[in-house]
Structures are given as structure tokens and as C-alpha cells.
Structure 1
Amino acid sequence: MGIYINPGNSGFAEINDQDYVDKTLLIDLINKTVEKKNKLTCISRPRRFGKSYAAKMLTAYYDCTCDSRPLFADKKISHTPDYAKYLNQYNVICLDITAFISEAKRQQASLRIIPNMIVNAITKELGTTKDNSTLNEKLIDFVNHTHKRIIFIIDEWDAVIREAQQDEIAQQAYLNLLRGWFKNGNFTPKAVAAAYMTGILPIKKDGSQSAISDFNEYTMIKPRIFGEFVGFTESEVAAICQKKNIDFDKMKRWYDGYYFKEIGSIYNPNSVIKAIENEDFDSYWTETSAAEGLLDYISKDYNGLTKTIAELIGGLEVKVDTIGFANDLTTFRGKNDVLTLMIHLGYLAYDSEKKTVHIPNEEIKLEFQRSIHEVKHEATLKRLAESEQLFADTIRQNEDAVAAQIEKVHAEETAPLHYNKEDSLRSVIKLAYYTYRDHYLQFEELPAGEGYADIVYLPKHDSDWPILLIELKWNQNAQGAIEQILQKKYPAVLQDTTREILLVGINYNKDAKAGNKKHTCKIVSLPAAH
């Protein structure tokens, strides 16, 4: 066994404990590609979504130098037709590209040396085959000698593209190494049984074409048959919560939000496991370098991006065009490319049917809220100040000021075509109160009393602010909104609280005549229960 060639099954054995979530049916999908025309697979997903676990699992399954039957005997893969056919039947070359980058940085060397580092590492493990022969020639000799072709498993394949984002020479040298393995008529058919590459970004484009065009790609935008293997599914998380006696509803609010057609909800595995290990629901995103770039992306100076970020933070869904993204961290043509990158990085969840994005869950919402306070755009600073003032005016029951700010946001942020649509008022409210996450959790259509409260802001445990229960009216009056709240007993669901409850009625009068206000507000306080 080597480090890179046939490294054995110890990596998978280490994680294959009683808490392992069985994702081994991923192997069956790869088995269907082995020694076939579609044998090259590239899967991209965000950090901490189980990419390394999958690489260890596949290595253990295919590596011909070990016996992995005990590791897989009780797993789902063991019940598939081709399980035994491919088990431990191939040479494996397993590479973690971030390890080579770390070593290059330790040596204070340019990332341009990464391809040579990889070639030298594999050559060293192969030993002497032919003097002066190329690595590919040595690998073909290796295949001929062992009578077993190679399955390449490359983890964090795109790390060079990300780390050397300003060095085109380093990127091209690395891509040429991959082309030499996977787009080479003299090597690929003879030596490669299959390839599984995983990273954060889809394969970089040269112009409009993929730089390594023979790969089948599966991304956060189009996961296709690999959707259930991107993260934990809802049923898997529910089973974990039941086993560990964890509040599933809270787990869902914190880490759900990614959704794939025909699969349903997908959760960040790292965050779910950390929440259970630490017995604490928190943002574990900050423990990864994934959080480092968020401020840079939301600070980019593209037309409409500031407003779009405010809409996202306010809880709205936003249209996005994902076509044409160059699959790197530097080539941006406008806000759509920034939003598309944030889908791949996991900051945003994508709805493939509506072609919209939204912030997926409480964990990522916290990261946006932390980052937005560091953005130095004048427009962003103005939005922050106005939203914070709106909360202050609401708590002080300054009805005229609240109505005036809602009217201002409605006029500035709503397209003329949609201004008089009834559903636009809810969006305006969420946009106006968009700094709520500093103190509140936001709920829409909250079951309460004999109906559903439009928008409720519940204070976080460390906030001393009152509960805000907002009811919206259209072409009626704000007092009518308050009366509906009381008649349908909306505050009943909160009756055991020791906090003050503010009932906020907001009305938009579409046909307001001269001298009448389009937006009106009525605020009533219910004292805290004792």
C-alpha cells in the first residue's frame, strides 16, 4: 500500500463507526460508469458537505490491495447486483490536492510547481519502470504488469483553480496534467477504468467550453442522480435526531434549506454532526474557510447587487441567471455570476424550477448578518441605518414614522409593474425590517389562535426586545388589522411569554386620494404576562 497509489481502506475504516450515515449507494452509481464511455465523473458541492468521506469510501471499495468486505458487508451497497464484481478489483490513485498545496506553501514555492509535485509523488511510488519514460508511460506499464486498470479519485480537484486564481500559468499547467490523464487518446482508454473528482467549483471553462470536456458534471445547480449524496437527506437527519434525542424542528430550521427536485431537503452534514457533538445549535460555517469570502462577494460593485443582497437578507427569493458562469473566483460579468458562485459555495440555495435563490437556513443567515455590517457601500450603510431606525420607531410605537418608512421602501424597492400587487407589501415589510437577525427570528404565516399571523418577529434568547406581531391589510385600514389580530386571538400562541407583545397593523391603500396616506400604521402594546 502506498500514500497515493492503492492507499488501502484505513481511511474509510476510521469513519465507519456506529454513527456513520450509509451513503454507499454512491458506489453503485460509479460502478455503472466503470470501463464505460461515461467513466469520468466530477461532482461539486460546498465545503464540509462530505466530499472527503466519499473519497475515502470509494478508495476502500475499489483498492485491489486490501479486503474491504467486512467494511461493506452491512451497507446498502452490498445488496446491489454489481457489488462483488467491482469490490477490490482495481488499482486506485487517490489524490487530495489541498495536501500538495499545503506543502508548496510550506516551501514558500509557487503553486506552479503543483503538477510536478504530483508527478514526482506518483512516480516515486511506482518505482523504476523505464528510464526517461513519462509518468503516463510508467502508469501504462503498471497497468499491464498488474492487469488492472486505474480508478482515479481526486479530492478537492479545483483547489489549484481557487488558490491560484490570479495565476493563469499555474492553472493551465494543472489543467494540462488532468487533460493528459483524462483527455488523451493514447492513455485514457488504456489505463483509466474510471475517475471520480470532487471539488467546490464546476470544471473551469476555457471560453464557453469545459477545460476538461469529457467529464460528466453534477453541481449544486444540477445535481441530477447524485442529489441524495450531496449531503444528509431529511429522512437521514430525522433518524439521527431520533437516535440522539435531538429536536428535529430546530435542526431543520438551522441546517435545512437546500432542496433538490425528487430528493427533497438536503442538510450540511458537518453542521448537523457538530450540533449533535456539541449539543448546541450554532453556525459552524465560521469554522471553515468557506465563510472568509462572503464579505468579498457581497461587497462587489455590480449594478443591483446591493439591493439583491438586502432582499435575500430580508428573506426574499431572487431571480438568477446561472448560464455563462466561468466556474472560477475571478471572472464576473455582473451580479448573476456572483449569485451563481454563491450557490456553488453553499451561501445560497437554488430553486431549479423557479430559477431563484434564497438564503437557505439560520446558519447561513447568521453569516450574512455578520458580514453585512462590514460592507462599506454607502447604499448598504444607509439600508442598515434605516432598518435599525425602523425597529426603534416600531418599539417606540411611532406609527407615523413606521408608515413613512414602509412607504419609502415600497416606492424605492418595488418595480412599477408590481407596486400595486397585493403580495408586494409582504416583501416590502421583510425588506424594510431586514436587520431583524440582530435581535429576532422571523416567522411567516405562523399558526396562531384561529388563523395565521402574517409576520412574527420573535426575540432571540439574549435580546430584551418585545415580540412584534405584524398583520397586513390591502385597501382597508390599519385599525382593521389590529382588530383581526385580536378577534382571531393571534397572541394566544404567545400568551405564556414574559415579554411585551406589540401588535403592528400596516395597511396599503392602493387608491388613496389626494391628502390621504397610502400607507398607515397602528401599533398596540400587550403587556408582558406575569
Structure 2
Amino acid sequence: MGMYLNPGKQRFQIAINSEIYVDKTGLINHLNSVINTNQRYVSVSRPRRFGKTMAADMICAYYDRTADSREIFENRKIATNSDECVSPWDINLNKYDTIRLVMTDFIKTDVDVKESLKRLSRRILDELHQEYPSVTYEEDDFSFSFEKFYAESKRQYVIIIDEWDAIFRIRLDDKVGQKQYLDFLRDWLKDKEFVALAYMTGILPIKKYGEHSALNMFDEYSMTQPMQLAEYTGFTKSEVEKLCEVYNMDYSEIESWYDGYKVSDNVPVSKRQLYREGKYEGHIIDIYSPLSVVNAVSSGLIKNYWNKTESYEALAEYIRRDYDGLKEDVTLLMNGGSVKINTSSYQNDMTTFNSKDDILSLLIHLGYLGFDDNTNEVYIPNEEVMDVFKVSTQNKEWVGYFKAFEKSEELLKYTWVCDENKVADLLEEFHNKASNKPDFKRHSCIIEKA
């Protein structure tokens, strides 16, 4: 067992030994269906607290040829719910050389990216050489050396990369380093016979340059389009109901505080005509924030657990950006509204923003906003996230926006009941404020949204 090559099952064993463990082993059935196909490149992006690392540990434990993990999986959902007509659940159990990387171990603020990649290459090649000592390799040519080890062993690899997007979060402005990193991954993995499965997980989808993905061989399963992996994005309703029953928790409170993420699975072939007719929504799944649910049911306390993994300043920094209409949209969202956005221009990083839609798209991937892919609208998903928004908008720059929204609601109410005097008074008040301060556009924008 190595640190990177065939790291074993211990990490996953620790997870299932925990007091609260929710079985997501069914994910492996999907991976088994794409292994050694053109769809063998899988990129999964989710917010923090949504179980990315546990999934990576689980995949290691299943595929690692040294792990001897049948006992772990044989009574799990992968075995009990597996469709034997497709393939046996254990068809790939402990069959592959497995490489597991956590990119935050290598990408550092004070280390040049080229040096970080050399360190990564050196460590993996060193472990491969320990396993296959007869192979001579070139330390300066990682991809070619990998090919040589494969030619000797005839064993394919399952390659698991956790925190794959660390470079875009740790070295935000290092465009040169980011390109070197993406080129490294592409040269190592793309169209390589030794890759049985490549599984990457992180917060951000794969970085775009213009309209194109830098790693276009990957199928992406994100918060806006999780497809077949929708039920593995977080905890499902049935999983949370079961936890509430075991731990004597009020399900409605848990739902109010930690639910709200709606994701879309693939529409079954037999239901697609009904879907086209607007008569089928069975592919839409409610997803709950896993870590918050675990904290709540284990402690018995319904409260905001978000600040254990995120600071309020992170959200505040994004929503105060000076993009036309952004603060008005945030005000509307905080009052229970939803906002239609275009996610296509977002470049899948944390610095390239050209409009408010790019900011709001990032907030989907960070878990601050839910996304309805039927209407292309964003919304604040639950009480926990609303609490984060409230703290992040406490400074005085937001006061005018909230007051304007309150007035717009008044105007809407009196317009609805045809109280022409109140409507006239409010319009005059807006006009007077616009005459004294250059904020009439702000008020009128919020009124229009309301």
C-alpha cells in the first residue's frame, strides 16, 4: 500500500465506522457502466460539505487491487440494488492499480506550479518504481514514463483526483500556472489506453477558455447538471427522513433549514414523451446539505453550521461586486424571490467575471444558491444559507437596497387594491429621492422585479 499508488481502504473504512454513515455506494454502479468506455472520464463538482472526499475514498476502496474490500461492499447498496442484467456489482472489485491524489497536497501559494507538478510526478513515479522495479523511466517525462509502467504491468489504472480545482482557488491570478496545470492533466490522461477510469472531484466545473473546456474528454456532473449522479449530489429526502426517525428529529425543521437544492437526474426513456408534454417531473430530486444534516441530527440542534467550512466574508466579497443589477437581485433573492440567469458565459473560475450572471453562477457551485434548470432561475435554498446572506449584508451599503425593496412591496400592495392615493404618494416619494440622489435607477429596478 502506498501513499498515492493503491492507498487501500482505510479512509473509507473510517467513514463507515462513523456513528452516522449514509450509503452512497450505488455511485459505483454508474462508474462500472462507463469504465473502459469513451465516457470513462468523470468530473464531479459540488460545494464544500457535500461528501466529495468520502466518495473519492469509497472509489479507492472499491477499485484498489490491494484493498481486499469485498466485506465492506457486499452488504451495501451497490450489491443489494445492483442490476445483475447489466453487470454483477463486483465485476471490477479490487481489479485495478489505483492512484489517488489530493491536489491541495501539491498546489501551494508559495511554490511555483511547475515545481509542484514536478514534485507530484516524482512521488508517483517513485511509488510505481517500487511496485515495478524492473522498469526504467524518465523522470522528466511523466506521461511517457506512465506508458512504460503500463507496458510492463499490463494493468490499467483508476485515477482519482480530489480537489482537482485547488489551483483556481489557491492561485487565483496565476493564469500561466493554471494553464500549465491543465496541460499537465490533459497530456497525462487524454486518450490514454492505461486509463480505465479517471474520476475528478472539486468545487468548480472544468475551466473554460472562451467557450471551450480545457479538458474536453471529461463528462461533467455539476450542481447545474448532475445527470445520472443527481442522487449522489447530497442527502436525498428518504435518507434524511430515515435519519430523523432514528434520531427523533422534526423532519419539517430539517427540511426548512438544510433542503432546497433541486437537481435533475436523467429522464427515463419510458417517461420522455410525458416529460415533453409537461406531465413528468420524477427526475427532479430534492438534495440536502449533508454535513449540516449530520451535525443537526447528532447534536439535536437546528442551527447554522455553514461557518464551520466557509467564512461570511467569502459570500460578502462576491455579492458586493459592482455589476449592474447584482445587489438588486440579491435583495430580491433575500425576500424569497428567484432570478433568471444565463450560466453559459461563466468561465468556471473564481476571478473571471463579466456580468452579474457570472457571479450568481459561481454562487450555485459554492452552494449559496439553488438552481432550477427548467426555468434557469436561482434562489436561496434554505434557512441556513439565508442566515449567511443576512450576516453578509449587514453593513450600511445594503440599507438603501432593502428600504427600496420594502417601498416597492408597498407600492405593489396598494396598486393591487387600487388605492390611488397611496400609489401617488409612493411614486412622489420615489421621484423626490431620485431628484435628490442618483439612485432612481436602483429603485425603479427593484420595483420592476417586485
Give the TM-score normalised by the residue count of structure 1.
0.71
Name which of 257, 263, 268 aligns with 2:289. 268
Q: Aligned to 2:422, what secondary structure does the other structure show?
A: coil
CA distance 1:144–1:373, change in 2 (3 Å): same
**What is the aligned partner in structure 2 of residue 311 from structure 1?**
332
State the Cα distance separating 1:283 from its structure 2 match. 1.3
Alignment map for 1:134-213 (pairs within 5 Å): 134-183=141-190, 185=191, 188-189=192-193, 191-213=194-216
Is 1:112–1:169's contact at 8 Å kept on the other side of the alignment? no
Is 1:162–1:329's contact at 8 Å kept on the other side of the alignment? yes
Q: Aligned to 1:518, what secondary structure does the other structure show?
A: helix
| Amino acid aligned to 1:356 | E
State the Cα distance separating 1:354 from its structure 2 match. 1.5
Name which of 100, 103, 111 aligns with 2:106. 100
| Amino acid aligned to 1:346 | G
**What is the aligned partner in structure 1 of residue 423 from structure 2?**
518
| Amino acid aligned to 1:274 | N
Alignment map for 1:285-324 (pairs within 5 Å): 285-289=306-310, 291-324=312-345
CA distance 1:518–1:215, change in 2 (3 Å): same
RMSD: 2.1
Do residues 88 (structure 1) and 94 (structure 2) align? Answer: yes
Q: Which has the higher strand share?
A: 1
Name which of 348, 351, 360 aligns with 1:330. 351
Distance in 2 between residues matched to 1:234 and 1:519, nearest whole Å: 48
Distance in 2 between residues matched to 1:195 and 1:222, nearest whole Å: 19
CA distance 1:82–1:181, change in 2 (3 Å): farther
CA distance 1:518–1:30, change in 2 (3 Å): same
- Cα deviations across residues 73-131 of structure 1 (Å, max 9, x unaligned)? 11011242332210000011101111223xx45xx433443212211221221226325
Is 1:282–1:363's contact at 8 Å kept on the other side of the alignment? yes
**What is the aligned partner in structure 2 of residue 121 from structure 1?**
123
Do residues 508 (structure 1) and 448 (structure 2) align? Answer: no
Distance in 2 between residues matched to 1:290 and 1:4, nearest whole Å: 31
**What is the aligned partner in structure 2 of residue 430 from structure 1?**
none
Is 1:228–1:263's contact at 8 Å kept on the other side of the alignment? no
Distance in 2 between residues matched to 1:182 and 1:131, nearest whole Å: 18
- Cα deviations across residues 33-54 of structure 1 (Å, max 9, x unaligned)? 1111111000111011000010
**What is the aligned partner in structure 2 of residue 59 from structure 1?**
60
Q: Aligned to 1:125, what secondary structure does the other structure show?
A: helix
CA distance 1:250–1:409, change in 2 (3 Å): closer
Q: Aligned to 1:152, what secondary structure does the other structure show?
A: strand
| Amino acid aligned to 1:12 | F
Distance in 2 between residues matched to 1:292 and 1:229, nearest whole Å: 29
**What is the aligned partner in structure 2 of residue 401 from structure 1?**
none
State the Cα distance separating 1:285 from its structure 2 match. 1.1
Alignment map for 1:211-230 (pairs within 5 Å): 211-230=214-233
Is 2:257–2:382's contact at 8 Å kept on the other side of the alignment? yes
Segments of structure 1 that go 5 or more residues without pairing to the other structure are: 388-404, 412-424, 426-505, 522-530
Ranked by relative contact order (alpha carbons within 8 Å, sequence separation 6 or more), the top structure is 2
Name which of 296, 300, 303 aligns with 1:279. 300
CA distance 1:74–1:290, change in 2 (3 Å): farther
Distance in 2 between residues matched to 1:87 and 1:39, nearest whole Å: 16
**What is the aligned partner in structure 2 of residue 483 from structure 1?**
none
Q: Which has the higher helix share?
A: 2
Distance in 1 between residues matched to 2:416 and 2:54, nearest whole Å: 56
Do residues 360 (structure 1) and 360 (structure 2) align? Answer: no
Distance in 1 between residues matched to 2:419 and 2:311, nearest whole Å: 49
| Amino acid aligned to 1:94 | R
CA distance 1:75–1:290, change in 2 (3 Å): farther
State the Cα distance separating 1:512 from its structure 2 match. 4.9
**What is the aligned partner in structure 1 of residue 245 from structure 2?**
242
Q: Aligned to 2:106, what secondary structure does the other structure show?
A: helix
- Cα deviations across residues 156-196 of structure 1 (Å, max 9, x unaligned)? 1111122111001110111111011222x4xx12x111111
Distance in 2 between residues matched to 1:228 and 1:340, nearest whole Å: 21
Q: Aligned to 2:172, what secondary structure does the other structure show?
A: coil
Segments of structure 2 that go 5 or more residues without pairing to the other structure are: 265-282, 427-450
| Amino acid aligned to 2:122 | N
State the Cα distance separating 1:271 from its structure 2 match. 0.6
**What is the aligned partner in structure 1 of residue 431 from structure 2?**
none
Distance in 1 between residues matched to 2:312 and 2:367, nearest whole Å: 10
Q: Aligned to 2:204, what secondary structure does the other structure show?
A: coil
Alignment map for 1:476-515 (pairs within 5 Å): 507-508=414-415, 511-512=418-419
Do residues 23 (structure 1) and 24 (structure 2) align? Answer: yes
Distance in 2 between residues matched to 1:352 and 1:149, nearest whole Å: 37
State the Cα distance separating 1:25 from its structure 2 match. 0.7
State the Cα distance separating 1:409 from its structure 2 match. 5.2
**What is the aligned partner in structure 1 of residue 401 from structure 2?**
383
- Cα deviations across residues 218-254 of structure 1 (Å, max 9, x unaligned)? 1111111110000000000000110111111111111
| Amino acid aligned to 1:283 | N
**What is the aligned partner in structure 2 of residue 392 from structure 1?**
none
Give the TM-score normalised by the residue count of structure 2.
0.83
Do residues 32 (structure 1) and 39 (structure 2) align? Answer: no
Is 1:92–1:151's contact at 8 Å kept on the other side of the alignment? yes
CA distance 1:330–1:520, change in 2 (3 Å): same
State the Cα distance separating 1:273 from its structure 2 match. 0.5
| Amino acid aligned to 1:166 | D
| Amino acid aligned to 1:121 | R
State the Cα distance separating 1:340 from its structure 2 match. 0.6
Name which of 236, 245, 261 aligns with 1:233. 236
CA distance 1:290–1:95, change in 2 (3 Å): farther
State the Cα distance separating 1:206 from its structure 2 match. 1.6
CA distance 1:93–1:321, change in 2 (3 Å): same
Aligned residues: 397
CA distance 1:56–1:292, change in 2 (3 Å): farther
| Amino acid aligned to 1:144 | A
Q: Aligned to 1:3, what secondary structure does the other structure show?
A: coil
Distance in 2 between residues matched to 1:354 and 1:31, nearest whole Å: 33
**What is the aligned partner in structure 1 of residue 278 from structure 2?**
none
Q: After the TM superposition, which segments of 4 or more aligned residues of structure 1 sit over 4 Å from their partners?
A: 384-387, 408-411, 509-513
| Amino acid aligned to 2:220 | E
Distance in 2 between residues matched to 1:384 and 1:113, nearest whole Å: 49
Is 1:234–1:267's contact at 8 Å kept on the other side of the alignment? yes
